[in-house]
């Protein structure tokens, strides 16, 4: 059984590093991507989905604004708007890893038993706050126009701190 596991792991590593990907040397200033994200948020233990855009200012600096909706669970849901700075490091063969830091605007909505007793308006059940993001991620460029990525970040927002883990697929142009 151990031999089969070792053979499988070795085959997977060889396949991962020889996968035909777009060369890392072709990253250029002005590169843009637009894509979809999906993942999980820890504050209300719920799924999340959104859109992301990136713009590369230089080989080692990207700006990545995104909008993410966190689905209702435990009577809370949210809309988050983020502007993150990414510092990508090329690993060769289209792979890059990056730390990220940025600003967050969160608007959390309380429903059901979490509503205030004397409040009949949805506006009174919404808490909007500014916060800070810190995290990291990785991307692989599969072709001249397709990129896959994963990322994780922790958002520091008074009363609504939480981590978010996302996978993304993006069109590169």
Q: What is the mean pLDDT of residues 107-119?
A: 69
Global pTM value: 0.77
| pLDDT tens digits for range 36-46 | 999 999 999 99
Closest residue by Cα to residue 26 from 93, 98, 85, 87: 93
Given a cut of 50, whether residue 18 has pLDDT beyond it is no
Please tell me the least confidently modeled range out of 29-33, 47-51, 120-124. Answer: 120-124
Given a cut of 50, whether residue 20 has pLDDT beyond it is no
CATH topology of domain 21-172: Porin (2.40.160)
Give the percent of the chain with pLDDT over 90: 65
β partners of residue 73: 76
3-state SS class at 131: strand
β partners of residue 30: none
Domain ranges of the chain: 21-172
C-beta neighbour count of 105 within 10 angstroms: 15
Q: What is the mean pLDDT of residues 112-132?
A: 69
């Amino acid at each position: 059984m151990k031999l089969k596991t070792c053979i499988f792991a070795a085959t997977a590593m060889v396949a991962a590093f020889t996968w035909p990907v777009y060369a890392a040397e072709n990253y250029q200033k002005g590169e843009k991507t637009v894509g979809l994200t999906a993942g999980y948020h820890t504050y209300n233990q719920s799924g999340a989905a959104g859109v992301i855009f990136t713009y590369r200012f230089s080989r080692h600096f990207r700006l990545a604004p995104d909008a993410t909706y966190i689905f209702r669970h435990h009577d809370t849901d949210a809309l988050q708007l983020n502007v993150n700075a990414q510092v990508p490091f090329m690993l060769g063969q289209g792979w890059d890893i990056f730390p990220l830091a940025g600003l967050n605007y969160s608007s959390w909505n309380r429903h059901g038993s979490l509503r205030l007793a004397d409040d009949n308006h949805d506006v009174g059940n919404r808490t909007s706050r500014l916060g800070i993001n810190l995290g990291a991620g990785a991307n692989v460029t599969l072709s001249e126009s397709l990129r896959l990525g994963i990322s994780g970040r922790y958002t520091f927002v008074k009363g609504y701190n939480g981590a978010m883990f996302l996978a993304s697929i993006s069109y590169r142009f």
